[in-house]
Amino acid sequence: MHELSIVKHVIKTLREVVEENHVRRIGSVTLEVGEVSGVVIEQLADCWNYFREKDELVKGAPLYVETIEAVTFCTSCEKTYETVKFGKTCPYCGSAETYLLTGNEFSIKQIEAETDDSVEP
Amino acid sequence: MKVIELKMTVTDSNDRDAQALRRELTERGIFLINLMSAPGSGKTTLLSRTITDLAGKVKIGVMEADIASDVDARRISELGAESIQVHTDGMCHMDAGMTRTGLENMENSGDRIVFLENVGNLICPAEFDTGAHKNVMILSVPEGDDKPLKYPLMFSKSDVLIITKSDAAPYFDFDFEAVESRVRKLNPSILIFPVSAKTGDGMEAWEDYILSEWEKRHA
């Protein structure tokens, strides 16, 4: 259960952020997920919904997911193309000497938070 | 409510834990090798043979990570190596925190090679750094030569690929050259060792590699 552990790791990272930034409550969390990062967004949402009822830190906070398109660069003809459609082989010249430019991302982009302003950062 | 921009990778806190663990282990003289593969690839059999062959040359410990049971740890301790069983309680991989806890449960901690036998799975273990010095992936001949195409991340993250059950290649039409060319496209610097733990074929090259990496750290 890949997505479950990913959510656990997100929450662990958020716990550190919360301490550093004197956050009182998290309003929402936005993730950036690449098209070929291997994460199933529907399952991720299910796991999030489970934790947001259980874990005080993210209680009630919605999860927003922004998808990043997967783009591959061909080193032979120096063109870029859609990874999901063509995979590792360049559709223009047939070369396999290609690498992924974007699409493998999985990051926490931002959170909305209520902070305790009485404490100086 | 204000917006805090983070741009942190999801595994950020694990990556930091793993870096710290790797440094600590180096200082304590522990060389940690993370073994990853699908279930049934022959990890424990390979490990048993490796332990027997290296006996007397270097001390070895084994951490068996499984969702449940202790059958693997029993097999290993019968060989005289220290082995502990870690249960991941349903999690599909080991991360740095779990590896650290596991190592704390080992009795003799310094100066040895520790093999972490990760949960049998070709997907998630590749994404979580355990703090190991080397990542070794095992592909067995019956799994087929097309696996680098299906699990690219695992092949690109590994330092070493061991192809086990090489004695069974004639029965499965397994093409070693095809695997090598598929893997090299993903990971040009990976080392590849075809072995049969049953016949002993190729084991020496793999064991020489472990010993030379060990000596590099204990020169």
Are the beta carbons of A21 and B4 separated by less than 8 Å? yes
How many domains are contained in chain A?
A: 1
Q: What does the pLDDT look like over B69-98, one tens digit per residue?
A: 777 778 888 887 888 888 877 777 888 988
Are the beta carbons of B6 and A114 separated by less than 8 Å? no
- Residue B110 is predicted with a pLDDT of 78
Residue among B129, B121, B76 at smallest CA distance from B100: B129
Domains in chain B and their CATH numbers? 35-217 (3.40.50.300)
In a domain, A56, yes or no: yes
In a domain, A8, yes or no: yes
pLDDT tens for each residue of chain A, 121 residues long:
578 888 988 998 899 889 888 898 899 999 999 998 888 889 899 999 998 998 888 999 999 999 999 999 999 999 999 999 998 889 999 998 888 899 988 899 999 998 877 655 4
In a domain, A92, yes or no: no
- A74 min Cα distance to partner chain B (Å): 13
**Host domain of residue A25:** 2-69+103-114
- Residue A45 is predicted with a pLDDT of 92
In a domain, A79, yes or no: no
Contact residues for B20 (Cβ-Cβ < 8 A; gap 6+): B96, B131
In a domain, A93, yes or no: no
- B143 min Cα distance to partner chain A (Å): 21
Interface confidence (ipTM) of the complex: 0.78
Q: Determine the 3-state secondary structure of B24 from DSSP.
A: helix
Are the beta carbons of A109 and B91 separated by less than 8 Å? no
In a domain, A78, yes or no: no
Residue among B100, A59, B127 at smallest CA distance from B116: B100
- Pairing mode, if any, of strands A23-34 and A106-115? antiparallel
Are the beta carbons of A13 and B2 separated by less than 8 Å? no
In chain A, which residues have their Cβ closer than 8 Å to the Cβ of B93? 5
